[in-house]
Amino acid sequence: MARIGRAPGAAGRREQDGPSLAVWISAGAGVVVLVAAAVTAGLLLASGAPAVGADEADTYASAPACSDVPGQRVRELVPGAALETSEQGPMADAESSTCVWTSVGADEGPPRSLHVDFTAHFTDKAGEVSGARAAAKRLEELAPIGELDGAAPVPELGEGALVWPGTSDGSSAEVAFRRDNMLIEVFYGGHTDRRGGELEYETARDGAVAIAERLAASL
């Protein structure tokens, strides 16, 4: 999950008018870069190891596709949204998918970005760590982020679910939660352009939690 700068594999995304998405998201590197680093490490590890499929005990055998994210809700949060990144592939003992919608340069409203990352964790080859346990451990690793100002648990999304400011300027929010062996992470943010449209943290938080709840219900 690359919350700071750009999503994995996004090098080919089209050029945008005005400030680039990389510029305004990277303004709040902080702890979120640690989250991105952990997933990047998993991708690098997977590139040198054979993919491991889901075990019979794993509830989810694959990561959902971007088409599984409710389109109406995406358009509400990101007016004029364009799907700029849609990737799915293996990681070490897992499969992940990354979806990024942005409205940078769109006429419908100010620049907004929505990232949704799914990671289906699988039981390891030795059968010692279940996919559900691996996903729970990954969520536990995010617990220190809960100490940030503005961070809070999201009990309606289950044990360990968190929401926190995605960038230090308070213009974005990120949510992480788990369903069995599936880890879901949602980032929603934006910035003010020449037409106004500042996104406050509370609004970003509510938007990120709302789509996370929709995803949880659909899973």
pLDDT in tens, 179-208: 999 999 999 999 765 555 678 999 999 999
d(CA 69, CA 201): 22
d(CA 83, CA 74): 10
pLDDT at residue 108 in the model: 80
pLDDT in tens, 22-34: 333 333 333 343 3
pLDDT at residue 129 in the model: 96
Residue with structure tokens 């809700």? 73
Tokens (6 digits) for 168 = 């230090």
pLDDT at residue 119 in the model: 98
pLDDT in tens, 8-21: 333 333 333 333 34
Q: Where are the domains of the chain?
A: 10-218
- Taking 90 as the threshold, does the pLDDT of residue 156 lie above it? yes
pLDDT in tens, 69-116: 999 999 999 999 999 999 999 988 999 999 999 998 888 878 999 999
- Taking 60 as the threshold, does the pLDDT of residue 1 lie above it? no
pLDDT at residue 193 in the model: 56
Residue with structure tokens 């995406």? 74
Secondary structure class of 37 (helix, strand, coil): helix
Residue with structure tokens 């996903």? 135
pLDDT in tens, 31-53: 343 344 444 344 433 434 444 68
d(CA 214, CA 118): 14
Task: Of 177, 180, 179, give the one whose Cα is nearest residue 209.
Answer: 177
pLDDT at residue 52 in the model: 61
Average pLDDT over residues 146-155: 95
